[in-house]
A and B are shown apart, each in its own frame.
Chain A
Amino acid sequence: MSVFQLNVNGNRHTVDVDGNMPLLWVLRDILGLTGTKFGCGVAQCGACTVHLDGRAARSCAIDVGAACLSEITTIEGLSYDGSHPCQKAWVELGVPQCGFCQPGQIMSAAALLAANPHPDDPQIDNAMRGNICRCGTYPRIRAAIHKIAGSSS
Chain B
Amino acid sequence: MSGIFRITRRDFLRNIGVGTGALVFGCSIAPDEIFADTDKLKSLILRGIPLSAFVAIKPLSGDITIFTHRSEMGQGIKSSLAAILADEAEIDWDRVTLHQADADAVGFGVPFPYAIPGAPAIVRAEDAQFTDSSRSMAAYYMPMRIFGAGLRLVMVRATAIKWGVKESELEARQQRVYHAASRRSIAYNHLLLEASKVKPLPEIDEIKTVLKRPDQWRFIGKTTMPFTDAKDMVTGKAVYGADVNLRRRGMLTAMIVRCPVANGTLKSFDASAALAVPGVKFVEPVLPANFPCTGGVGSNFVPHAGVAVIAENTWAAWQGRRALKVEWDLGPNESYDSEAFRDELKESTERPGKPVRWKGDVDAAIGGAAKVVEESYYIPHLAQTPMEPPTAIAIYENGSGWEIWSPTQGPELAQHYIGLAMLEPDLVQGLVWQAVELSELSRECEHETQKIFNESLAKRLGVDEATLFKMRDDLKKKVRDKVKVHVTLLGGGFGRKSNPDYAMEAAFLARNHPGIPIRVQWTREDDVKFSFYNSVSRQYFKAGLDAGGRPAGLLQRSAFSSFFATIFPPPAYVPADQGDIFAKARAAFHNGGEYLYGSSIELGQGLEDNPYVIENLRIENSPAPNHIRCGWMRSVANIYHAFGLCSFADEMANAAGRDSKDYLLELIGPGHMFTEAELRDKEHVPCYDNNLFPIGRKMMPIGGQEKEIMPGYPPDTRRLRAVVERVSKESGWDEKKGKLPKGRGLGIAAHRSFLSYVALVIDVSLNEANELTINEVHAALDCGRVINPDRVYAQMEGGILYGLSLALLGEITVKNGAVVQNNFDDYPVLRIHQAPKKIYAYFVEPSPEVVNDYPGEEVPPTGVGEPPTAAVAPALANAIFAAGGPRIREIPFCKKIVVL
Closest to B76 in A: A97
B-facing residues in A111-127 (Cβ within 8 Å)? 121, 124-126
Binary contact readout B307-350 vs A (1 if CB under 8 angstroms, 0 otherwise): 00000011110010000000000000000000000000000000
> Could you mark each residue 37-73 of chain A with 1 if its beta carbon is under 8 Å from any beta carbon of chain B, else 0?
1111110110100000000000000000000000000
B440 contacts chain A at the CB level, 8 A cutoff: no
List the A side residues contacting B75 at CB < 8 Å.
97
- Cα A37 to Cα B236 in complex, Å, equals 9
Chain A interface mostly: loop
B292 within 8 A of A: no
In the bound complex, CA of A134 to CA of B801 (Å): 8
Q: B797 to A139, Cβ gap below 8 A?
A: yes
For B791, give the chain A residue with the smallest CB separation. Answer: A94
Known: A32-B245, A97-B75, A99-B489. A129 touches B831 (CB 8 A): yes
Residues on B with C-beta less than 8 A from A97 are 74-76, 794-795, 798
Chain B residues lying within 8 Å of A129, measured Cβ to Cβ, are: 831-833
Once A138-B832, A139-B839, A142-B837 are accepted as A-B contacts, the answer to whether A18 and B278 lie under 8 Å apart by CB is yes
Given A45-B824, A139-B839, verify A132-B831 contact (CB < 8 Å): yes
The 8 Å CB contact of B233, one of A86, A102, A128, is A102
Chain B 780-799 interface mask (CB, 8 Å, partner A; 1/0): 00000000001100110111
Contact mask for chain B residues 371-394; partner A; CB cutoff 8 A; 1 contact, 0 none: 000000000000001111100000
B235, B242, B278, B314 interface centre (most CB from chain A within 10 Å): B235
Cβ–Cβ < 8 Å partners of B387 in chain A: 37, 39, 45, 47, 98, 100-101, 132-135
B429 at the interface (CB under 8 A from A): no
User: Nearest residue in B to A96 (C-beta to C-beta)?
Assistant: B233
| A135 neighbours in B (Cβ, 8 Å) | 74, 387, 492, 798, 802
Assuming the contacts A42-B825, A134-B802, A139-B839, asked whether A34 and B243 have C-beta atoms less than 8 A apart, the reply is yes
Q: How far is the CB of A70 from chain B (nearest CB, A)?
A: 19
Q: How far is the CA of A121 from the CA of B833 in the complex (A)?
A: 9
Residue of B nearest to A99 (CB): B233
- B242 and A99 form a contact (CB under 8 A): no
Known: A18-B316, A29-B253. A136 touches B231 (CB 8 A): no
Residue of A nearest to B75 (CB): A97
CB < 8 Å neighbour of B798 from A45, A78, A91, A137: A137
Contact of B234 with A90 in the complex, beta carbons under 8 Å: yes
Q: Is A28 an interface residue (CB 8 A)?
A: yes
CB of B388 within 8 A of CB of A39, answer yes
A106 contacts partner chain B, Cβ-Cβ < 8 Å: yes
B875 to A: closest C-beta gap in Å = 16
Q: Answer yes or no: A30 CB below 8 A from chain B CBs.
A: yes
B residues 223-255 touching A (CB-CB < 8 Å):
227, 229-240, 242-243, 245, 247, 253
Q: Residues of B contacting A44 with CB < 8 Å?
A: 524, 823-825
A37 pairs with B835, CB closer than 8 A: no
Partner of A39, one of B389, B525, B791, B833: B389
Q: Does B431 contact A (CB under 8 A)?
A: no
Q: Are B523 and A30 in contact (CB under 8 A)?
A: no
Residue among B234, B238, B389, B524 facing the most chain A CB atoms (10 A cut-off): B234
Is A98 a contact partner of B386 (Cβ separation < 8 A)? yes
When C-beta atoms are compared, the residue in chain B nearest to A74 turns out to be B236
Q: Pick from A74, A97, A126 the residue with the most CB of B within 10 Å.
A: A97
* B388 lies within 8 A of A37 (CB): yes
Instruction: Report whether B837 and A153 are in contact in the complex, using a CB–CB cutoff of 8 Å.
Output: yes
- Checking A17, A96, A128 against B832 with a beta-carbon cut-off of 8 angstroms, the contacting residue is A128
A25 to B839, CA, bound (A): 37
Q: Is the CB of B797 within 8 A of A140?
A: yes
Encode contact with A along B65-87: 1 for CB under 8 Å, 0 otherwise: 00000001111100000000000
A113, chain B: closest CB distance, angstroms: 15
Within 8 Å by CB of A125, from B521, B524, B832, lies B832
Contacts of B232 in A (CB 8 A): 99
Answer whether residue B491 sits at the interface, using C-beta atoms and an 8 A cutoff. Answer: yes
**B201-231 residues at the A interface, CB under 8 angstroms:** 227, 229-231
> Of A1, A101, A124, which one neighbours B278 at CB under 8 angstroms?
A1
CA distance A142 to B834 in the complex (A): 12
Among residues of A, the one whose C-beta sits closest to the C-beta of B73 is A98
Q: Is the CB of B491 within 8 A of A100?
A: yes
Q: Does A149 contact B (CB under 8 A)?
A: no
Interface centre among B74, B385, B801 (most CB of A within 10 A): B74
Decide yes or no whether B800 CB sits under 8 A from chain A. yes
Q: How far is the CA of A102 from the CA of B491 in the complex (A)?
A: 10
Complex alpha-carbon distance, A82 and B238, angstroms: 13
Determine if A8 is an interface residue (Cβ-Cβ < 8 Å): no
| Residues A37 and B491 in contact, CB atoms below 8 Å apart | yes
Which residues of the other chain, B, contact A87 by a CB distance below 8 angstroms? 231, 234-235
Distance of A78 Cα from B797 Cα, bound (Å): 28
Task: Report the minimum CB–CB distance from A152 to chain B (whole Å).
Answer: 11
Q: How far is the CA of A15 from the CA of B258 in the complex (A)?
A: 32
Residue of A nearest to B522 (CB): A38
Q: Determine if B494 is an interface residue (Cβ-Cβ < 8 Å).
A: yes
- B523 contacts A136, C-beta separation under 8 Å: no
Q: Does B161 contact A (CB under 8 A)?
A: no
| 1-42 of chain A: CB within 8 A of chain B | 1, 17-18, 21-22, 25, 28-30, 32-42
* CB contact list, B775-830 vs A, under 8 A: 790-791, 794-795, 797-802, 805, 823-825, 829-830
A79-B385 Cα distance, complex, nearest whole Å:
30
Most buried by A among B279, B525, B797, B798: B798
A78-93 interface bits toward B, Cβ cutoff 8 Å, 1 = contact, 0 = none = 1100100011001100
> Is B490 at the interface (CB under 8 A from chain A)?
yes
User: How many Å lie between the Cα of A100 and that of B314 in the bound state?
Assistant: 19
CA distance A96 to B387 in the complex (A): 13
| Contact B315 A25, beta carbon cutoff 8 Å | yes
Tell which of A30, A47, A132 has the most Cβ of chain B within 10 Å.
Answer: A132
Q: Which residues in A have their C-beta under 8 angstroms from that of B823?
A: 40-42, 44
How far is B245's CA from A25's CA once the two chains are assembled, in angstroms? Answer: 14
Q: Which of A86, A98, A106, A153 has the most C-beta atoms of chain B within 10 angstroms of its own C-beta?
A: A98
Could you tell me the distance between the alpha carbons of A137 and B830 in the complex, rounded to whole angstroms? Answer: 11
Chain B nearest CB: distance from A40 CB in Å?
A: 4
Closest Cβ neighbor of A45 among chain B residues: B824
Which chain B residues lie closer than 8 Å to A79 at the CB level?
235
Residues of the A chain whose Cβ atoms lie less than 8 Å from the Cβ of B795: 97
The distance in angstroms between the C-alpha atoms of A86 and B76, with both chains bound, is 21
Set of chain B residues within 8 Å of A32, measured between Cβ atoms? 245, 247
Q: Let me know if A82 and B797 touch, CB within 8 A.
A: no
Identify which of A30, A38, A90, A132 gathers the most chain B CB atoms within 10 Å of its CB.
Answer: A38
Chain B contacts of A76 at CB under 8 A? 235-236
Bound Cα distance from A78 to B234, whole angstroms? 10
Give the distance in Å from the alpha carbon of A103 to the alpha carbon of B235 in the complex. Answer: 7
**Residues of chain A with a CB closer than 8 A to B824's CB:** 40, 42, 44-45, 132
Measured in the bound complex, the distance between the Cα atoms of B769 and A87 in whole Å is: 40
Whether A42 contacts B74 by the Cβ 8 Å rule is no
The distance from the CB of A141 to the nearest CB of chain B, in whole angstroms, is 7
Q: Return the chain A residue nearest B802 by Cβ.
A: A136
Closest to A22 in B: B315
Q: Which residues of B contact A142 (CB under 8 A)?
A: 832, 837
User: Is the pair A29, B314 in contact by a Cβ cutoff of 8 Å?
Assistant: yes
Contact of A94 among B227, B242, B279 (CB under 8 A): B227
**Interface residues, chain A, CB within 8 Å of chain B?**
1, 17-18, 21-22, 25, 28-30, 32-42, 44-45, 47, 74-76, 78-79, 82, 86-87, 90-91, 94-103, 106, 121, 124-126, 128-129, 131-142, 153
- 14 A-B Cβ contacts within 8 A? A18-B315, A21-B315, A34-B236, A37-B491, A40-B524, A94-B227, A99-B489, A100-B240, A134-B802, A136-B799, A136-B802, A136-B830, A139-B835, A139-B837
Q: Which 3 A-B pairs have the closest CB atoms?
A: A35-B236, A100-B491, A99-B233
Known: A74-B236, A138-B801. 15 other contacts (CB 8 A): A22-B315, A30-B313, A35-B235, A42-B823, A44-B824, A45-B387, A75-B235, A90-B234, A97-B795, A98-B74, A98-B386, A99-B238, A99-B489, A100-B489, A136-B830
